[in-house]
Amino acid sequence: MSLDCLSKAELRVKLLNLQDRVADRLEKEPDVDTFLDQTNLFDEWEKVLPEAEYPIFVITVLNNIRREAVIASIIDSIGKHDLQSEPEKEGSSVTDKDGIDHPFC
């Protein structure tokens, strides 16, 4: 089941379980670079997190950060897409809150 189909409570549990798994692995083998090169634990999260939020997610998991504000921010961002990560459509533009078109956003 895709992460974007889970409830916030289920996502929170899944994220905390992931942090536990990563902490256990890094305790046994503390080389973070090797771990990142060899793991696919983050793949499903990368698919549903916005590009800007993904590095925060990785740092949060690697450092076992469990502050509620950080966890909530990650969970709240699942399924939201950055404007920059979506394919450009010819003739498209973004209108800001003042009604000004920004064709290069």
According to the model, what pLDDT value does residue 87 have?
A: 46
SS percent in the chain: helix, strand, coil, step 5 = 55, 5, 45
pLDDT bin (cut points 50, 70, 90) of residue 4 is confident
- Could you tell me how far CA 21 lies from the centroid of its own chain? 17
**Does the pLDDT of residue 42 top 70, yes or no?**
yes
Domain boundaries, the chain: 3-81
Predicted model pTM: 0.74
Pick the residue with more confidence: 2 or 13? 13
Longest dimension (CA), the chain: 55
Q: What is the mean pLDDT of the chain?
A: 84
According to the model, what pLDDT value does residue 16 have?
A: 98
